Amino acid sequence: MTIEDNKPLSREKLVTIFGGSGFVGRYAVREFAKRGWRVRVACRRPDLAGHLQPLGNVGQIQLVQANLRFKDSIDSAVEGADVVVNLVAILAESGKQTFQSLQARGAQWVAQAAKAEGAKMVQISAIGADDNSRADYARTKAAGERLVHEVLPDAIILRPSIIFGPEDDFFNRFAGMATMAPALPLIGGGSTMFQPVYVVDVAKAIVKAAEGELEPGSIWELGGPEKLTFRECLEQMLEVIERKRLLVSLPFPIASAMGAFAQYLPGAPITPGQVEMLKSDNVVSTEMEAAGRTLEGMGVTPTALSAILPTYLVRFRKHGQFEARRGL
């Protein structure tokens, strides 16, 4: 291949994705790769992120080490990027990996690095982010939004509801519990409302924001086509895995007391902060719906929960994917 004299060399745009090796990250990496972007995945353990390489062409996806607790590693990961996406979030603190260090200060440092490079930024927050929340998770998510916009007023913020997909930590967790326990807990009676959103739809929204299809500085809330109670979510899950289990109401005070102990167990199955967040509905606000700041508003058709759950929860049936063949 030859290059004509005086013809400027072109290059694919480069996106740096912090937290790109996680659940949402792998789908964002795939969407960017499909659109021809060069993708730099910044994560704490790039040696454990080899599963991302097949999502793009040879050399298209680069893995680099970075930790939002260390500003120098952030600056290095952002060097030369056109767009920066911050997906880093935790549901429970562990050692120095705290809500404040990652979701607030870390987000601020990512914004500062993006500004220094002249890059766009997409910050992934969450529905329920609230400066006045009693839950550290929600409070630091709100702080992260504010700090990012103070540094980069044009940064786009996406707030998804509970995200579902093959590697999710909600439906998979409860389905796993249903294979062993005779009953499942309904914290607070199971009346909390969710608007489950498909991980692929969230990834598409991220790419739209990165490619300039959304208004600079705007905030969007991402939810699926259905608003379901906690109870209804578990009922759908049980129907898919073809198991009958009691759904037992667990009052908030008892759940909080259990969380105070369970938060120190491996994997932190439940924390007081998570119980606190369940006291508020996790759905797209009426203000965002009225303003069209939703998936539909950006041109993404939300995927129904019922269309996807069977594709990955079938393994929790008594006889797995072969359940329907029994007796043939």
106 band by pLDDT with thresholds 50, 70 and 90: very high
Percent of the chain with pLDDT over 70: 94
Please determine, for residue 7, whether its predicted confidence score (pLDDT) is greater than 60: no
**What pLDDT digit, counting tens, does each position of 145-183 carry?**
999 999 999 999 999 999 999 999 999 999 999 999 999
Paired with 122 in beta bridges are 85, 156
Paired with 197 in beta bridges are 163
- Is residue 143 in some structural domain? yes
- Is residue 1 in some structural domain? no
Which pTM does this prediction carry?
0.93
Contact partners, residue 322, CB within 8 Å, separation at least 6: none
Paired with 16 in beta bridges are 40, 84
> What pLDDT sits at residue 269?
78
> What pLDDT sits at residue 4?
41
Domain that holds residue 49: 14-321
Q: Dihedrals φ, ψ of 194, to 5°?
A: -125, 160
Please determine, for residue 328, whether its predicted confidence score (pLDDT) is greater than 60: no
**Number of separate domains in the chain:** 1
265 band by pLDDT with thresholds 50, 70 and 90: confident
Q: Which long-range contacts (CB under 8 A, 24 or more apart) does 256-265 make?
A: 263/92
Measured CA to CA, the distance from residue 327 to residue 132 in angstroms comes to 57
- Is residue 327 in some structural domain? no
- Is residue 3 in some structural domain? no
* Mean pLDDT, the chain, whole residue set: 93
- Is residue 9 in some structural domain? no
When pLDDT is averaged across residues 46-70 and rounded to a whole number, the result is 96
Higher pLDDT, 300 or 325: 300
**What pLDDT digit, counting tens, does each position of 190-221 carry?**
999 999 999 999 999 999 999 999 999 999 99
Contact partners, residue 19, CB within 8 Å, separation at least 6: 25, 42, 43, 86, 87, 88, 89
- Is residue 7 in some structural domain? no
Measured CA to CA, the distance from residue 109 to residue 115 in angstroms comes to 10
Helix 171-178 with 230-241: angle, nearest 10 deg: 60
- CATH code of residue 114: 3.40.50.720
**What pLDDT digit, counting tens, does each position of 268-314 carry?**
778 888 999 999 999 999 999 999 999 999 999 999 999 999 999 99
Least confident of 240-254, 256-270, 292-306: 256-270
Does residue 148 contact residue 184 with C-beta atoms inside 8 Å? no
> What pLDDT sits at residue 51?
94
- Is residue 328 in some structural domain? no
> What pLDDT sits at residue 322?
66
Quick one: tokens of 185? 């807990």
Measured CA to CA, the distance from residue 320 to residue 315 in angstroms comes to 4
